[in-house]
Amino acid sequence: MFNSLTALPADPILGLLTQYREDNHPNKVDLGVGVYKDPLGHTPILDCVKAAEKIRLDTETTKVYIGPTGSASFNQLMGELAFGASHSALLANRVRTVSTPGGTGSLRVAADFIKRCNPNAVLWVSDPTWANHTGLFEAAGITVKTYPYYDYDSKTLKFDQMLATLNSIGKDDVVLLHACCHNPSGMDLTTEQWDEVVKVTVKQGFTPLIDMAYQGFGDGVDEDAYGVRQMAAAVESMILCSSCSKNFGLYRERIGACSIVAKNSATADITQSVLLYVVRCLYSMPPAHGAAIVETILGTPALKQQWLDELKVMRDRINGNRAILVDKLKANGVDRDFSFIARQKGMFSFLGVNPEQVAILKQQYSVYMVGSSRISIAGISETNVDYLAKSIAAVL
């Protein structure tokens, strides 16, 4: 039966990992997959994570099945981190959270959950969005459509067009919004724009699905959750997919969470039963190690403070990289305006070069970025930025 298969192309983001590893160029630069890197190009384990792992090693007493919801304590702490401990939705007991294998696992749980709510629901995603959103939801049998978002020419949001499309979406559909650090464009909604989007969501009655994969990488843990918190306070139903891959640096541990906000506690209990069914059919139950680390950090005041401090170091470094790249491009005689990179947020921006230039950067200069010219800002460092700026200048 395998004879009917044809080979599929490598994933546009993850495929770059292998190509980069196999490249022997001494100055190769990895701006592909979104992972934090320190000035030496290393992705470190956070000190708070190491400390939490030590605690778990000493205190863990069993490896028995954890169950489809995952860790109750992790779920509660993740809810508080996202919504804020005193959020009205939490106080009204309207939120149910399950631990998931990473942010991608959370999105897939959400996809199967949506399919059970309404098999005909259309999922609306920003144009552009994370390269895996479309495939992931289509794999769950959901039709995906786009709403206007990023203007590649002016490097700004197409906010009026976005609102116009949202104003045409009905109550049976779902709209995916990025909480912060929009992947791939780096262009976020302002708080005023979030307020507008919340208003339209309430008026139209569609269900918002907010993907929060970078909480703390934009302006701060609370600032980055502005849209999530406003939305959850205003709407009857909402889905939140969060990830601990980037902000806790737990990439390979695969830990995230899927939270459903329902109109009341009784409905929330029903959604929980559906979530558990979905999880059982997909992967039975989530891995426990990452959740144990996160709950130890968030549940221990000194470790939580250490985490917030380490997160700030990562955030400041990425923002610093943005300014450094803009300056170095100028210093290398590039007269095209790249100042937008310094104004954008989070791990990514579009460099704005064409696919041929992306290919030349890879083939001739060993500078790796996604075909759309999305660059992972965290891959820039004091040691590679001169070479990077010279390479970009050369292809321009």
CA distance 147 to 69: 33
Q: Of these, 29, 30, 31, 34, which contacts ligand LMR (CB under 6 A)?
A: 34
244 makes contact with ligand LMR (CB under 6 A)? no
90 CB-near residues (< 8 Å, 6+ apart)? 79, 80, 83, 84
Kindly state the smallest distance separating residue 34's Cβ from ligand LMR, in Å. 3
Contact, 98 vs 68, CB < 8 A?
yes
Contact, 41 vs 381, CB < 8 A?
yes
Kindly state the smallest distance separating residue 132's Cβ from ligand LMR, in Å. 6
Size, binding site for ligand LMR by CB under 6 A = 6
Of 132 and 230, nearer to ligand LMR (C-beta) is: 132
Helix segments in 205-286, DSSP class H: 226-234, 265-282
298 makes contact with ligand LMR (CB under 6 A)? no
377 makes contact with ligand LMR (CB under 6 A)? no
275: its two tokens: 């979530």
Between β-strands 367-368 and 29-30, what pairing exists: parallel, antiparallel or unpaired?
parallel
241 makes contact with ligand LMR (CB under 6 A)? no
CA distance 37 to 392: 21
Of 34 and 208, nearer to ligand LMR (C-beta) is: 34
Kindly state the smallest distance separating residue 20's Cβ from ligand LMR, in Å. 13
The 8-class DSSP code of residue 109 comes to H
247 makes contact with ligand LMR (CB under 6 A)? no
Q: Of these, 31, 33, 52, 293, which contacts ligand LMR (CB under 6 A)?
A: 33
Nearest residue to 187 via CA among 395, 352, 76: 352
Contact, 392 vs 364, CB < 8 A?
no
Residues numbered 332-351 forming contacts with ligand LMR, rule: CB under 6 A: none
Kindly state the smallest distance separating residue 311's Cβ from ligand LMR, in Å. 17
Kindly state the smallest distance separating residue 346's Cβ from ligand LMR, in Å. 11
Tell me whether residue 211 is one of the annotated catalytic residues.
yes
Stretch (H or E) spanning 376: strand 374-376
Hey, CA dihedral for 225, 347, 260, 291, is it positive or negative? negative
Task: Check 30, 112, 130, 194 and give the catalytic one.
Answer: 130
166 makes contact with ligand LMR (CB under 6 A)? no
**Cis preceding-peptide flag for 39 (omega within 30 of 0):** no
Q: How far lies 378's CA from each of 76, 186, 395, in Å?
A: 30, 13, 22
CA distance 234 to 207: 12
124: its two tokens: 């609306």
300 makes contact with ligand LMR (CB under 6 A)? no
Kindly state the smallest distance separating residue 352's Cβ from ligand LMR, in Å. 18
Interaction mask 170-209, ligand LMR, x per CB under 6 A: -------------x--------------------------
235: its two tokens: 């709407």
Interaction mask 93-132, ligand LMR, x per CB under 6 A: -------------------------------------x-x
Task: Check 158, 211, 224, 307 and give the catalytic one.
Answer: 211
Of 33 and 180, nearer to ligand LMR (C-beta) is: 33
Kindly state the smallest distance separating residue 351's Cβ from ligand LMR, in Å. 15
Supply φ then ψ for residue 342, to 5 degrees.
-75, -20
337 CB-near residues (< 8 Å, 6+ apart)? none
Of 122 and 177, nearer to ligand LMR (C-beta) is: 177
Residue nearest to ligand LMR (CB): 34
Of 45 and 85, nearer to ligand LMR (C-beta) is: 45
Tell me whether residue 171 is one of the annotated catalytic residues.
no
Tell me whether residue 307 is one of the annotated catalytic residues.
no
**Distance linking the first and last C-alpha atoms of the chain:** 48
Q: How far lies 352's CA from each of 24, 78, 198, 205, in Å?
A: 27, 36, 30, 36
218 makes contact with ligand LMR (CB under 6 A)? no
Kindly state the smallest distance separating residue 273's Cβ from ligand LMR, in Å. 30
Positions that interact with ligand LMR (CB under 6 A): 13, 33-34, 130, 132, 183
Active site residues: 130, 211, 246
